[in-house]
A and B are shown apart, each in its own frame.
Chain A
Amino acid sequence: MGASRTKVVVIDPRGVLIGYAVKKSGTDFTATAAACLDASLEMAGVNRKDIVRAVSTGYGRANVAFVTEATKTEIGCLAKGCHHYFKGAITIIDIGGQDNKIIKLGAAGNRSSFKMNRKCAAGTGAFLEEMSQRLDIPLEEMNDLARKSENMIKLGSYCTVFSATEVLESIRNGKPVSDIVKGIFYSVIKRVLEMDSLTDRVVMTGGVVANNPYIVQMTEEMIGRRVLLPELPQLAGAVGAALYALEGNESVEEES
């Protein structure tokens, strides 16, 4: 249950993903969670009564008590979800709607450290949303626009409000929108990279990454190496929560 989007993942007892759904979290978290749950169950071809165990995570983790018995932080779930796809030591960069995280895992998947962005929107999905409004272009068009840029603008500030005035200045100066959008992407990545150092293998997750593959490509250019992506980067945290549910259910499984 993210601040921006709600994701539900259904896995079978072997840990295989069989259903999922993503919706805007909106203002009624409980209703959104229920709608996502039903959509993902339908995709999986099962009913609510078939749920053996559920774990909730994210900003609204306490709002889905109707179905879950336990909660885990999104940091724990991202670690679990990414370790499922990529064994060994990794650094996870998660760019979400409300905040960013850099999480480092040791060889066994154990968390060794994590950092969240400071209390400001710089480098988050919220910053992209703000900018899409400023530029009057839909969020989903930003990725293709950025790709077309030939001469990206540079945003200097790490304050979202100051960045917005810098964007306005570029508009006033008649810069192409594609150059402005790429500059915005660049700013997002810079804000995230300055949060912590990276280890060798880097995994990226989160809605911003899932919806803007060009951000991944730009990150690869900036850090000089390939970035690993889970199959559905926006669902990595939800997958982790489901895996925690499966883990917590081991005793039940043994009985059956």
Chain B
Amino acid sequence: MTEEKKIARRKIQATVRMNELMSDYFYDLNEAAKSSNRKVAWCTSVGPAELLRALGFAVHFPENHAAMLGATRTSTDLIPEANAIGYSPDICSYLTADIGAYLKGFTPLAKAYPGIESVPRPDVLVYNTNQCRDVQDWFAWYSKELDVPIIGVTSPKNVNEVTGAHIDDVARQIEALIPTLEEISGNKLDMERLKEVVSLSRDCTELWKKVLETATVSPAPLTFFDATIHMGPAVVLRGTREAVEYYKLLLAELEQRIAEGVGAVDGESVRIYWEGMPVWGRLRQHSELFSGFHATVIASTYCSSWIFPAFDGDDPIRSMAKAYLELFIVRSDDYKGGYIMEMLKKFNIDGIIYHDAKTCPYNSNNRYGLPQRIEAETGIPSLVISGDLNDLRCISDEQTKTNIEAFIEQLEEGK
């Protein structure tokens, strides 16, 4: 195999609109934080954002902020700040990067959006431990530091089949948040508004699913690396009309590519599935590394995790509970195995790469024999690469490169 060459990776035109949307979102948050009449809630990525929106909160997602710290490659300088106050380099590098940024008075928002000086100050911190325990510990630190109330949902874990009992549990926990949130927001919950928000989340989810599924076609019109960027609105603007409109636009562009037979990468020869977190500080390098070998990473668990088929405007709270419980990360390995195998089939995958993220055990699904079980059942080769989502100290670029190059060689020789 020759050294990778620069292969054209096509730009998505809708990006311009997405950037406007994200910009509006961050300026609105900033304004809300400065105004006296609007309240700001911080929410974990699959926390009860629909409820918060329905109550009129401006919603900030620290996980999104942490990913920005990773993508701007500032995280590795910030993480040690949190390490030094007792947050181990072995725990979530979203948490350590974000707290480190706070300690250093730094935010990439300031550079990206002139006029914004800091992350919006919260009036309440709302978590759901369906992601992991770390989100709760993360918010707990801010709660103490900023003297802000912290509330949330303690989710069942390793859920095999989501049962009525699970849903009852989480739905009751969501309901129990309402009085506190009403008090902080100063608004009474309007059920009609909640139904509307949940319906919008549902619409967003369906469009996002269609966007990702455009990559079932060969050549795939979008890659995993594109999707990690374009999932922005699905993460921070879930439950808004703007997000829904955005995905209509993006979907149309991708469908146009399919109609024209144009792929995101020229000469797609092997199709790869990515399991685990992206390495935020290496998105471009990884994207170029794969495209240089005419390999495309076309689908991932990570980006697909923002598909919530359960949302139902007619039954908002129970359907929220169900959606939050059906999330991949909170499921059993048995479920995860079945899910991944279905994805391999749906996207016609040649090989699967597991990213073993040093600081994120919950998103490193290679640690309990899953790759071996899936490979035995499907015969689809797999590779584990060691890395991290945000802490570049855990990464060896040379090792990653050799591993990925050898894996693509193996897949091509096996064709």
Q: Are B406 and A113 in contact (CB under 8 A)?
A: no
Q: Are A75 and B386 in contact (CB under 8 A)?
A: no
Q: Are B406 and A76 in contact (CB under 8 A)?
A: yes
* In the complex, chain A residues 56-83 whose Cβ is within 8 Å of any chain B Cβ: 59, 62, 69-76
| Closest-CB distance, B386 to chain A (whole angstroms) | 5
Q: Are A116 and B1 in contact (CB under 8 A)?
A: no
**A68 CA to B409 CA, complexed, in Å:** 18
Q: Are B399 and A75 in contact (CB under 8 A)?
A: no
Interface residues of A toward B: which range? 20 to 34
Among the listed B375, B403, B409, which residue makes an inter-chain contact with A116, where contact means beta carbons less than 8 Å apart?
B403
**A76 CA to B403 CA, complexed, in Å:** 11
| Closest-CB distance, B90 to chain A (whole angstroms) | 14
Q: Are A119 and B1 in contact (CB under 8 A)?
A: no
**A73 CA to B2 CA, complexed, in Å:** 10
Contact code string B382-415 (vs A, CB < 8 Å = 1, else 0):
1110100000001110110011011101100110
Q: What chain A residues lie within 8 Å of B383 (beta carbons)?
A: 114
Given contacts A75-B409, A110-B414, contact A70 B2 (CB under 8 A): yes
Query: Can you name the residue of chain B whose Cβ is closest to the Cβ of A65?
Result: B3
Q: Are B409 and A119 in contact (CB under 8 A)?
A: no
Q: What chain A residues lie within 8 Å of B406 (beta carbons)?
A: 73-76, 114
Query: Can you name the residue of chain B whose Cβ is closest to the Cβ of A76?
Result: B409
| Closest-CB distance, B330 to chain A (whole angstroms) | 27
Q: Is residue A23 contacting chain B, with contact meaning CB distance below 8 A?
A: no
Q: Are B1 and A70 in contact (CB under 8 A)?
A: yes
Instruction: Identify 10 residue pairs between A and B in the complex whose beta-carbon atoms are under 8 Å apart, listed by A's number.
Output: A69-B2, A73-B409, A75-B402, A76-B413, A99-B399, A111-B410, A111-B414, A113-B375, A114-B410, A119-B396
Q: Is residue B309 contacting chain A, with contact meaning CB distance below 8 A?
A: no
Query: Can you name the residue of chain B whose Cβ is closest to the Cβ of A62?
Result: B3
**A115 CA to B413 CA, complexed, in Å:** 17
Query: Can you name the residue of chain B whose Cβ is closest to the Cβ of A118?
Result: B386
Extra contacts, 20 of them, besides A71-B1, A114-B383 (Cβ < 8 A), are A70-B1, A70-B2, A72-B1, A73-B1, A75-B406, A75-B410, A76-B409, A76-B413, A99-B399, A110-B413, A111-B414, A112-B381, A113-B381, A113-B382, A113-B410, A116-B399, A116-B402, A119-B386, A119-B394, A119-B396
Among the listed A71, A111, A115, which residue makes an inter-chain contact with B2, where contact means beta carbons less than 8 Å apart?
A71
Q: What chain A residues lie within 8 Å of B3 (beta carbons)?
A: 62, 71
Given contacts A116-B399, A118-B386, A119-B399, contact A73 B405 (CB under 8 A): yes
Q: What chain A residues lie within 8 Å of B382 (beta carbons)?
A: 113
Q: What chain B residues lie within 8 Å of A69 (beta carbons)?
A: 2
| Closest-CB distance, B284 to chain A (whole angstroms) | 19
**A73 CA to B4 CA, complexed, in Å:** 12
Q: What chain B residues lie within 8 Å of A70 (beta carbons)?
A: 1-2
Q: What chain B residues lie within 8 Å of A119 (beta carbons)?
A: 386, 394-396, 399
**A116 CA to B405 CA, complexed, in Å:** 13
Query: Can you name the residue of chain B whose Cβ is closest to the Cβ of A3?
Result: B398
**A148 CA to B342 CA, complexed, in Å:** 56
| Closest-CB distance, B207 to chain A (whole angstroms) | 38
Q: What chain B residues lie within 8 Å of A113 (beta carbons)?
A: 375, 381-382, 410
Contact code string B80-109 (vs A, CB < 8 Å = 1, else 0):
000000000000000000000000000000
Contact code string A29-63 (vs B, CB < 8 Å = 1, else 0):
00000000000000000000000000000010010
Q: What chain A residues lie within 8 Å of B413 (beta carbons)?
A: 76, 110-111
Query: Can you name the residue of chain A whose Cβ is closest to the Cβ of B395?
Result: A119
**A75 CA to B403 CA, complexed, in Å:** 9
Q: Are B409 and A72 in contact (CB under 8 A)?
A: yes
Query: Can you name the residue of chain A whose Cβ is closest to the Cβ of B403?
Result: A116
| Closest-CB distance, B359 to chain A (whole angstroms) | 14
Contact code string A114-130 (vs B, CB < 8 Å = 1, else 0):
11101100000000000
| Closest-CB distance, A119 to chain B (whole angstroms) | 4
| Closest-CB distance, B378 to chain A (whole angstroms) | 13
Q: What chain A residues lie within 8 Å of B2 (beta carbons)?
A: 69-71
Q: Are A74 and B414 in contact (CB under 8 A)?
A: no
**A76 CA to B3 CA, complexed, in Å:** 14
Query: Can you name the residue of chain B whose Cβ is closest to the Cβ of A75?
Result: B406
**A116 CA to B375 CA, complexed, in Å:** 18
| Closest-CB distance, B56 to chain A (whole angstroms) | 47
Most chain A beta-carbon neighbours within 10 Å: one of B1, B402, B406, B407: B406
| Closest-CB distance, B411 to chain A (whole angstroms) | 9
**A118 CA to B357 CA, complexed, in Å:** 12
Q: What chain A residues lie within 8 Å of B394 (beta carbons)?
A: 119
**A72 CA to B382 CA, complexed, in Å:** 19
Query: Can you name the residue of chain A whose Cβ is closest to the Cβ of B372?
Result: A197
| Closest-CB distance, B76 to chain A (whole angstroms) | 15
Q: Are A59 and B381 in contact (CB under 8 A)?
A: no
Q: What chain B residues lie within 8 Å of A112 (beta carbons)?
A: 381
Most chain A beta-carbon neighbours within 10 Å: one of B2, B396, B402: B402
Given contacts A62-B3, A119-B396, contact A73 B402 (CB under 8 A): yes
Q: What chain A residues lie within 8 Å of B414 (beta carbons)?
A: 110-111
**A110 CA to B412 CA, complexed, in Å:** 11
Q: What chain B residues lie within 8 Å of A76 (beta carbons)?
A: 1, 406, 409-410, 413
Q: What chain A residues lie within 8 Å of B403 (beta carbons)?
A: 116
**A59 CA to B403 CA, complexed, in Å:** 11
**A70 CA to B383 CA, complexed, in Å:** 24
